Amino acid sequence: MSNESYNPFAIAQTQFDKVAEMLDLDQATRDLLRNPLREYHFSIPVALDDGEIKIFKGYRIQHNDARGPAKGGLRFHPEETADTVRALSMWMSWKTAVADLPLGGAQGGVICDPHNLSDSEQERLCRGWVRQVFNFIGPEIDIPDPDLMTNPKHMLWMLDEYEVLAGKKAPGSFAGKPVGMGGSMGRAEATGYGVVINIHEALKELNLSPANTTASIQGFGNVSQFAIELFNQMGGTVISVSSWNQTDNDSYTFRKESGVQLDELRSVTDSFGGINKEKAIDLGYEVLTGDAWIEQEVDILIPAAIGNQINKDNVGRISDRVKIIAEGANGPTTPEADTVINERNIFVIPDFLANAGGVTSSYFEQVQSNMNYYWEKEEVLSKLDVKLRSAFISISDFAKDNNLTMRDAAFVISIDRVAKACHDRGWV
């Protein structure tokens, strides 16, 4: 994008600069972490089905690998730019660090529109991408994940090409694979469960028992469905969820004071989390307006839909009873609303931390692939539980010790961890 007012990399650098100042990082560390360690820009020739050769521009940018092999998404997008990839690679470094995973951050992509490519052309593109970076990725170097417009299908093509070039099996070289083909159990549950594991820890800090708490959730996708599952298991009650209605092109809040029953609601929900309004009414749900979820008399709010949902216009409608806001979605709270929430002393679990279950399960996939030994779902979920609880505790302690909000603490701690690793390695 030529639009100069919005450059994601510049934004990421500004964010970093702010924390660097707080941490009083030395100039060399700042210079190192402000920019990626390594960037690979390359051309991928692909023979199209009709014989024409087209050259695609590909990237792999490794922001930092001081804490371990780099990890991050691989995107196919027609408007991909190097700066977007740089920004995302930097965010990946912080994201793996906040969950305290032994990983670094990277991101990659190809400038292309898959809508213009047949399956076989996409396959050749994937294989071409691997051939260009074969020496710079791998289980011990950098592990790509599916991202925008890529999915497990692409990962398997890439994995296959990688293994051919390597002359050996290396299932840990790519993540996001389907179960049975090097994928991990529990991946679907991980993010939603992670949100609730964080909530559980927060409740402990507030001296509340989950059994006596109620929650209202925005969205009924994968994250919220598993969040409800675990929250119910812990004894809590979700009284309302909102959901986008594709036919009406509007969202509604579905409320049941006695508690949302996950299975019955799932039975009237499409694969995009759209709840069928009429059938929900038949099941005894009240249908309220889409934004009614925010004003419910509950202890916990979980925005788990899309960004910018809690803003200066509706932040005032949050009930006095609300004690915790757990950000299941990315960036659901605007900065203005964030200020109000902090003033009201509501405990915020920032998105960074709340949805760390995703990246953690991806790390578990890698670990299992490297061993070529796959855990049962219970084992994955119990390891997730341990990992996320300790991540929460260290951030929460850090926040208390340094009088920071959870959001600031999460950000500071992750940058601090990366900076320390660079230091300990003697780089800076």
Which residues contact another protein by CB under 8 A?
Answer: 49, 114-121, 146, 149, 151-153, 176, 178-179, 187-188, 246-250, 270-272, 306-308
Query: By C-beta, is 58 or 114 nearer to another protein?
Result: 114
Between CA 244 and CA 110 the distance in angstroms is: 31
Q: Give percent helix, percent strand, percent coil of the chain, each to the nearest 5.
A: 50, 20, 30
Q: Are 333 and 303 in contact (CB under 8 A)?
A: yes
| Min separation Cβ 344 and another protein, Å | 25
Query: By C-beta, is 151 or 209 nearer to another protein?
Result: 151
| Min separation Cβ 388 and another protein, Å | 21
Query: By C-beta, is 198 or 269 nearer to another protein?
Result: 269
Q: Phi/psi of residue 387, each to 5°?
A: -60, -45
| Min separation Cβ 51 and another protein, Å | 13
| Min separation Cβ 127 and another protein, Å | 16
Among 189, 226, 195, smallest CA distance to 353 is for 195
Query: By C-beta, is 159 or 391 nearer to another protein?
Result: 159
Q: Which residues contact 265 (CB under 8 A, 6 or more apart)?
A: 220, 241, 254, 275, 280, 283, 285
Residue 407 burial (CB count, 10 A): 21
Query: By C-beta, is 2 or 27 nearer to another protein?
Result: 2
DSSP character for 417? H
Query: By C-beta, is 120 or 209 nearer to another protein?
Result: 120
| Min separation Cβ 247 and another protein, Å | 5
Sheet strands side by side (includes 347-349): 286-289, 250-255, 237-245, 214-218, 300-303, 324-326, 347-349
- Is the torsion defined by CA of 338, 244, 260, 285 positive or negative? positive
| Min separation Cβ 115 and another protein, Å | 5
